[in-house]
Amino acid sequence: MFMSIVYIVFIVVAIVAASIRILKEYERGVVFTLGRFTGIKGPGLIIIIPFIQKMDKVDLRTVVLDVPSQDVISHDNVSVNVNAVVYFRVIDPEKAILQVENFHDATSQLAQTTLRSVLGGHELDEMLAEREKLNEDIQEILDKQTDAWGIKISNVEIKHIDLDESMIRAIAKQAEAERQRRAKVINSKGELEASQNLLEAANILAQNPQGLQLRYLQTLTDISSDKTNTIVFPFGSELGKLFTPKG
């Protein structure tokens, strides 16, 4: 008789222990009764009827998902290796359990395919120069598709875009050619401005013969310090009259 009582007490204690669940503040429990969804519980102390009810815990904290490196062919047929990181969290535990078998793996696979699809539609220059815009495009697409799973994509960041050595050398040559082109453009603009200034100065001097003679004298003074130079000094008409014999 005593052993029977002990056995019954042991069974009761085991059932009570199996019935008690404690959920943390960031956890929720999706409860099924005889296989049917019957509600969301938590946080705190939760009572589950053994053998009749079952509970799946869902973490509501933001998950940092590292997207594995993906081989991407850009729109201009350049092969690159890209990896990214996705930040997401569950906002509807019911959908996260009922609508998809494993929401973490499903989000990871979707992020990989979306990354390849979005980047494959852009040229290499756009990948390198417009990373913020690409991040926003990928996030928007992922957020729309995971909404049915009760998941919110809060951020997407492309971490690295790796090129092979031959492509890096080609980009370096292209950048050097672009720098040379810009230098030539700047130099030509400077020459154009200088020629315009000289033309304006010539027009002003042409209107004032005395000023032209003074400019001649100033030029002679500037070059006279070098004794190795042979100086040919042109005389203007006004200055030449001083050396013309009268009569």
Q: How far apart are CA 225 and CA 55, in angstroms?
A: 101
pLDDT digits (tens, 9 = 90+) for 18-59: 788 899 999 999 999 999 999 999 899 999 988 899 999 999
User: What fold does the segment set 63-166 form as a domain?
Assistant: Tetrahydropterin Synthase; Chain A (3.30.479)
- Name the one residue in this structure whose structure tokens are 């904290």: 61
Report which of 227, 201, 229 is spatially closest to residue 215, judged by C-alpha positions.
Answer: 201
Domain boundaries defined on the chain: 2-59, 63-166
Residue 11 binned pLDDT confidence (cut-offs 50, 70, 90)? confident
Local confidence band at 98 (pLDDT 50, 70, 90 cut-offs): very high
Q: Which two tokens stand for residue 121?
A: 């539609």
Pairing of strands 36-41, 27-33: antiparallel
Instruction: Output the CA torsion 113→117→122→125 (10° steps).
Output: 10
Question: What is the per-residue pLDDT for 246?
Answer: 54
The span from the CA of 207 to the CA of 43, in Å, is: 94
